[in-house]
C-alpha cells in the first residue's frame, strides 16, 4: 500500500505523495453536482439503518482497499458527489496519535473536569469522514486537492486534512467528521440573526482560504457543513479549488479604463455598429481562436465573469457564490438559480440586473452580450422587489392599502447582498471586508451578549 501523508494525526509536517503514476493531462471534468441532487444524497445520521446497497458498497470498498478496515470501521455513506463518495467511520487508532484536528475535543476540554475528560475519552468513539476519490479523477487534480488541504490545515472554519492513503490507483483522504444539518431542513426558518451567524462562519473560512490566495470555486450550501445549534460551519470539498494565478491569460477587465475603451473602439464589434447595423454579428472570416477559461463550479452559483470566460479569475468568484446563498436565504427559494447551461445562467442574471448592466460587464471582459428577449428590461429589477415577490409580499397591505416593504433588518441584509452580487469583480466585497461590514459585525455583538449572559449564570 502506497501512502500519501499530510499531518498524519498531527505528526507529519509535509505533504508527501508518490507521483510515479502522475502525468499531466488536460482537465475535462469541471461541473460539480447539482446542489439539489447533492443535498438529497447527503446523510448526517449514523443511527439510520444502513441500506443494503450502501452496505454492499462499503463492503466492496473494504475489499478493494486492503487494510482500511484495520484503521477505520465504516458506519455509513454520508455523501455522494460528482468526483467522490464520503463515508462516516470510527477511527480505531485515534489514541495512538496526536489529534490537533479534533475541534470537538478541544471544545469539550474547555468545559469538563480532568476526571470527566478521562472517562469520556475512554468511552466516546471518534468519528472521521473517509473521502474516496474516484479513479476517473485526474491524478493532478487529486494531488492538488490534498496539497491545498494540507496548506489550509490550521485555517479557521476550514476542514483540515488528517491524512491520506493510496492503494494501487485508489486514493482516500481522511477528514474530520462534523455534525451538521441538511441545508433544506432549516434555510426557510432562519431569522436575520441566524443568517448573520451563518455568514460570519462562512466568511471566516473564506478569509482564511483567500488569505492564501486560493479559490475554492465551488461555494454552495452542500459544501459548507453548518450546525445551527452551535452556529458553526466548516468549509469542505476542495476538489475544484486552485491557486490564484493558475493558467492566467490577460483579460480586458485588468486593463486601464483608457486602454479598454481604445480596444473596444477599434474592435469588430465597434466596426459593426459604425456600419449602421444596430445589432452585433459574426464576421464572415473570423480568424480569432476561441477563448478558454476555467469554468469549474456548480450551475447557479457561478459568477458572471466565470460565465463570460474571464481568463484572470480571482477569489471574488467565491464571494458571488456566497451572495447567491444569501439570496436563497432571503428569498426562501433553493436553489434560486436553476439554469441548464452557461447561456441560461447569463439570462437568469440578466432578468435581475438588466440588459444594460450585462452589456457593460460583458465588454469589461472583452465579450459582447446581446439578447432579443422582449421581457428583459434595460434596468432589471431591484433585489428588494424580487425578495418581496418570492416571499409572497408583492401585494398591498389589505388594511392600510400601502405597499408591503421589507423589515429594517432585511433591508440591511439586502444592502449587504448588493455588495456580494456586484457584477464587476473589482468592486465586489472581499471576505475580510465582509466580516467588518455592519451586517455581519452585529453577529459578533449578539454573540458577545450571549457570552456575557453565560458568564452571569
List the catalytic residues: 218
CA atoms within 13 A on the CB side of 452: 6
Instruction: Tell which residue, 261, 271, 126, 157, has the closest CA to residue 219.
Output: 157
CB count in 10 Å sphere of residue 262: 12
Orientation angle between helical segments 355-364 and 257-265, nearest 10 degrees: 100
Q: How far is CA 190 from CA 44, 75, 195, 197, 332, in A?
A: 20, 31, 6, 10, 9
Q: How far is CA 368 from CA 20, 266, 291, 302, 433, in A?
A: 45, 14, 13, 19, 31
- Residues in Cβ contact with 191 at an 8 Å cutoff, skipping those fewer than 6 apart: none
- Structural contact between residues 1 and 165, judged by C-beta atoms closer than 8 angstroms: yes
CB count in 10 Å sphere of residue 298: 24
Instruction: Tell which residue, 406, 413, 371, has the closest CA to residue 389.
Output: 406
Distance, CA of 53 to CA of 56 (rounded, Å):
5
Q: What are phi and psi of 171, to 5 degrees?
A: -120, 135
Distance, CA of 321 to CA of 326 (rounded, Å):
9
Question: Hey, which residues does 396 pair with through a beta bridge?
Answer: 403
Distance, CA of 161 to CA of 289 (rounded, Å):
40
Q: Residue 313 corresponds to which cell in the numbers above?
A: 479569475
Distance, CA of 87 to CA of 300 (rounded, Å):
27
DSSP output for 244-287: TTTT----GGGS-HHHHHHHHHTSHHHHHHHTT-SS----SS--
51: left (phi over 0), alpha (psi -120 to 50) or beta: beta
Amino acid at each position: 500500500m502506497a501512502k500519501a501523508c499530510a499531518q498524519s494525526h498531527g505528526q507529519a509536517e509535509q505533504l508527501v505523495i508518490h507521483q510515479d503514476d502522475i502525468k499531466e493531462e488536460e482537465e475535462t471534468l469541471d461541473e460539480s453536482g447539482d446542489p439539489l441532487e447533492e443535498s438529497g444524497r447527503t446523510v448526517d445520521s449514523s443511527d439510520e439503518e444502513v441500506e443494503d446497497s450502501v452496505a454492499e458498497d462499503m463492503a466492496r470498498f473494504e475489499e478493494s482497499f486492503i487494510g482500511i478496515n484495520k484503521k477505520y470501521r465504516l458506519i455509513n455513506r454520508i455523501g455522494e458527489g460528482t468526483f467522490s463518495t464520503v463515508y462516516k467511520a470510527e477511527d480505531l487508532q485515534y489514541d495512538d496519535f496526536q489529534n490537533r484536528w479534533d475541534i470537538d475535543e478541544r471544545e469539550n476540554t474547555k468545559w469538563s473536569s480532568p476526571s470527566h475528560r478521562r472517562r469520556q475519552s475512554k468511552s466516546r468513539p471518534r468519528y472521521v469522514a473517509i473521502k474516496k476519490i474516484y479513479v476517473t479523477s485526474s491524478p493532478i487534480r487529486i494531488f492538488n486537492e490534498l496539497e491545498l488541504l494540507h496548506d489550509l490545515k490550521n485555517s479557521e472554519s476550514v476542514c483540515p486534512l488528517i491524512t491520506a492513503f493510496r492503494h494501487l490507483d485508489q486514493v482516500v483522504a481522511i477528514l474530520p467528521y462534523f455534525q451538521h444539518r441538511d441545508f433544506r431542513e432549516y434555510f426557510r426558518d432562519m431569522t436575520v440573526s441566524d443568517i448573520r451567524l451563518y455568514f460570519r462562519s462562512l466568511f471566516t473560512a473564506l478569509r482564511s482560504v483567500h488569505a492564501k490566495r486560493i479559490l475554492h470555486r465551488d461555494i454552495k450550501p452542500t459544501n459548507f457543513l453548518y450546525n445551527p445549534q452551535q452556529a458553526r460551519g466548516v468549509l469542505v470539498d476542495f476538489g475544484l479549488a486552485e491557486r490564484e494565478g493558475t493558467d492566467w491569460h490577460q483579460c480586458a477587465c485588468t486593463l486601464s479604463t483608457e486602454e479598454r475603451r481604445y480596444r473596444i473602439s477599434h474592435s469588430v464589434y465597434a466596426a459593426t455598429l459604425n456600419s449602421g447595423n444596430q445589432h452585433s454579428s459574426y464576421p464572415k472570416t473570423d480568424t480569432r481562436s476561441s477563448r478558454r477559461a476555467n469554468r469549474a463550479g456548480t450551475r447557479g452559483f457561478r459568477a458572471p465573469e466565470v460565465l463570460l470566460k474571464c481568463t484572470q479569475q480571482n477569489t471574488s468568484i467565491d464571494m458571488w457564490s456566497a451572495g447567491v446563498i444569501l439570496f436563497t436565504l432571503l428569498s426562501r427559494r433553493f436553489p434560486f438559480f436553476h439554469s441548464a447551461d452557461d447561456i441560461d445562467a447569463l439570462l437568469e442574471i440578466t432578468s435581475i440586473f438588466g440588459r444594460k448592466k450585462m452589456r457593460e460587464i460583458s465588454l469589461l471582459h472583452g465579450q459582447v452580450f446581446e439578447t432579443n428577449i422582449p421581457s428583459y428590461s434595460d434596468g432589471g429589477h431591484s433585489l428588494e422587489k424580487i425578495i418581496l415577490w418570492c416571499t409572497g409580499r408583492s401585494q398591498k397591505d389589505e388594511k392600510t392599502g400601502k405597499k408591503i416593504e421589507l423589515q429594517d433588518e432585511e433591508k440591511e441584509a439586502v444592502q449587504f447582498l448588493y455588495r456580494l452580487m456586484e457584477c464587476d469583480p473589482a468592486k465586489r466585497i472581499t471576505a475580510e471586508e465582509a466580516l467588518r461590514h455592519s451586517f455581519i459585525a452585529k453577529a459578533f455583538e449578539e454573540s458577545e451578549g450571549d457570552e456575557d449572559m453565560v458568564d452571569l449564570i
